């Protein structure tokens, strides 16, 4: 897709308004990240201590396929819906609601078909077997997951990020944590506890998203499914679907391949490490829901310079926050993994690689948030190449480690290392393409990141010589405080600091943002 041209002369920049909007949305979702961190810990403790690495590995292998299929069935509406609604600017609210219901109906058709197909042929979900007969009903989460993605995207278009925080950072993680504990102690559901808890959490998230959506958009009025329009929407969504599925697939492909080539214990160890590393991954998605409406607005008026500035700004916010979190979780890696049990300490190297992978991936994620609108096919081609590279590296490293006679922890580390290399390549290639298309620099790199990381590493390394409880209780705050002090003083300018100021962006008008 060629670079879009402005329909008219560019309107005066409202960079301050856009920056305030991005900062407000990022602050809200960053708070959600912190809440998610607290909520995820009980689930990891319950899953690792009560169910064990083998049961956790089987559950993780099944969940991989479920999440990928559900994401495909959402038809890329996480980002595509913002563009469809933006192109419909000026229409009344009922017309906008009907556009959303078109996407929901299509998602239900695809997800229903996918669920029935997996019910008939469940073998791909369970490469290492099942924990119980109830595991097959994980397919029931596919329609709920897909619809929830669309509902949250519709709310994000109205700058309602709080609903995403409630659904993804509070309701879902706390539901799966509580339900996993309850099902473990209920007669007849102990083996099925992880699967049943996951099902409960997905439907709880759906209900949490549906209530504010109905208050914002209402029920459909004068709406009937338009088959021709829905078919056109499916065709148009293909590049977005591919980009979303591959972006998420890069975080799940390694688990799937591990399930094929390694024992379930290795999958369980890797999954525990990945759940910790996924916290900074969720942080970078904090800005995605609010970034899409801002980008589509500037694309509509042809303001490419403003888009490049937003990419640079948000990209630096993300990498600065992610690097700090990676240092806080990675430097005391053995102590962190040891929280789940002695068997999981073998995943320390995998945790380090996974945390590094999320840092190097930050530029790819921000670049892709623009490329999916102005170069869909090229972005998809790059993503396909990257995931193919990851698959090849993962298989090669796992086989090499296995042939060397090394244990499960090294196999997990090999998969994590392959992911890190693939994501680094993705960031480099996508940033260069976006720079070419926008005609402006988009890099999020600043040298003060090195200064802050260096100071934090010195402090963190010193704490590794002390008992683990001191390393966790006092070392983590010391590392975080050192990094934050240096990056704030040497890396953050006045525009950067707006992220931490409690200011409110101007409310959007009644038309599309």
Q: What is the pLDDT of residues 214-227, one digit of tens each?
A: 988 888 878 877 77
- Contact between 160 and 21 under an 8 Å Cβ cutoff? The reply is no
- Phi-psi sector, 210: left (phi>0), alpha (psi -120 to 50), beta: alpha
Q: Shortest CA distance to 62 belongs to which of 244, 269, 268, 203?
A: 268
Burial annotation 244-279 (CB, 10 A radius, 16+ → b, else e): bbbbbbbbbbbbbbbbebbebbbbbbbbbbbbbbbb
140-188 residue pLDDT tens: 999 999 999 899 988 888 877 788 888 887 899 899 999 999 999 988 8
278-287 residue pLDDT tens: 766 666 665 6
pLDDT at 457 over 90: yes
Question: Would you give the DSSP letter of residue 169?
Answer: I
pLDDT at 376 over 50: yes
In angstroms, the CA 181 to CA 276 distance is 20
303-362 residue pLDDT tens: 888 888 888 888 888 888 889 989 998 999 888 888 888 888 888 999 999 999 989 988
In angstroms, the CA 364 to CA 429 distance is 8
pLDDT of res. 100? 86
8 burial via Cβ count (<10 Å: 0-12, 13-18, 19+) = exposed
Q: Measuring CA to CA, how many Å separate 452 from each of 331, 336, 363, 457, 483? A: 14, 22, 19, 9, 5
Query: Per-residue pLDDT averaged across 406-411, rounded?
Result: 82
Our CA angle for 81, 82, 84, nearest 5°, is: 60
In angstroms, the CA 21 to CA 30 distance is 14
Q: What is the pTM of this model?
A: 0.72
In angstroms, the CA 414 to CA 419 distance is 9
Looking at per-residue confidence, does 406 or 88 come out higher?
406
In angstroms, the CA 402 to CA 76 distance is 37
In angstroms, the CA 80 to CA 86 distance is 10
pLDDT of res. 64? 83
pLDDT of res. 499? 57
pLDDT at 59 over 60: yes
In angstroms, the CA 302 to CA 482 distance is 42
In angstroms, the CA 86 to CA 390 distance is 35
Burial annotation 370-388 (CB, 10 A radius, 16+ → b, else e): bbbbbbbebbbebbeebbe
In angstroms, the CA 43 to CA 173 distance is 8
pLDDT of res. 511? 39
């Amino acid at each position: 897709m060629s670079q879009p041209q402005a329909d008219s002369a560019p309107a005066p920049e409202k960079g301050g308004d856009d920056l305030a909007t991005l900062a407000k949305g990022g602050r809200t979702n960053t708070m959600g990240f912190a809440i998610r961190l607290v909520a995820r810990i009980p689930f990891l403790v319950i899953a690792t201590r009560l169910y064990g690495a083998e049961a956790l590995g089987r559950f993780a292998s099944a969940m991989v396929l479920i999440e990928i299929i559900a994401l495909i069935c959402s038809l890329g509406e996480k980002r595509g819906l913002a563009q469809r609604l933006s192109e419909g600017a000026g229409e009344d609210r009922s017309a906008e609601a009907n556009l959303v219901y078109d996407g929901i109906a299509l998602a239900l058709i695809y997800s229903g078909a996918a669920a029935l197909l997996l019910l008939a042929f469940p073998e791909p979900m369970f490469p290492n077997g099942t924990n119980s007969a109830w595991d097959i009903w994980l397919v029931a989460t596919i329609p709920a997951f897909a619809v929830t993605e669309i509902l949250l995207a519709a709310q994000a278009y109205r700058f309602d990020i709080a609903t995403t925080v409630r659904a993804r950072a509070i309701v879902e993680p706390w539901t799966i944590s509580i339900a996993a504990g309850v099902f473990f102690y209920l007669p007849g559901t102990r083996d099925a506890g992880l699967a049943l808890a996951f099902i409960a959490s997905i439907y709880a998230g759906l209900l949490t998203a549906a209530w504010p959506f109905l208050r914002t958009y209402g029920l459909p009025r004068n709406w009937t499914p338009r088959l021709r329009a829905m078919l056109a929407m499916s065709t148009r969504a293909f590049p977005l679907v591919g980009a979303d599925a591959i972006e998420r697939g890069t975080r799940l492909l390694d688990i799937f391949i591990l399930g094929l080539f390694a024992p379930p214990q290795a999958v369980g160890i890797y999954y525990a490490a990945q759940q910790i590393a996924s916290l900074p991954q969720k942080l970078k998605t904090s800005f995605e829901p609010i970034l899409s409406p801002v980008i589509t607005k500037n694309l509509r008026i042809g303001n490419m310079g403003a888009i490049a500035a937003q990419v640079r700004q948000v990209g630096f916010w993300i990498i600065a926050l992610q690097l700090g979190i990676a240092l806080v979780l990675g430097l005391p890696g053995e102590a962190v993994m040891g929280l789940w049990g002695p068997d999981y300490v073998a995943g320390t190297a995998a945790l380090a690689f996974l945390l590094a992978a999320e840092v190097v991936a930050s530029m790819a994620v921000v670049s892709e948030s623009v490329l999916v609108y102005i170069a869909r096919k090229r972005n998809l081609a790059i993503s396909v190449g990257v995931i193919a590279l990851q698959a090849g590296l993962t298989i090669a490293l796992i086989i090499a480690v296995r042939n060397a006679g090394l244990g499960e922890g090294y196999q997990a580390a090999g998969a994590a290392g392959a992911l890190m290399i693939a994501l680094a390549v993705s960031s480099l290639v996508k940033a260069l393409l976006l720079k070419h298309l926008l005609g402006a620099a988009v890099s999020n790199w600043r040298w003060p990141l090195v200064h802050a990381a260096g100071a934090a590493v010195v402090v963190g390394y010193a704490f590794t010589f002390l008992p683990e409880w001191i390393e966790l209780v006092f070392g983590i705050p010391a590392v975080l405080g050192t990094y934050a002090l240096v990056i704030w003083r040497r890396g953050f300018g006045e525009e950067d600091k707006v992220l931490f100021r409690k200011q409110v962006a101007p409310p959007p008008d009644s038309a599309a943002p």
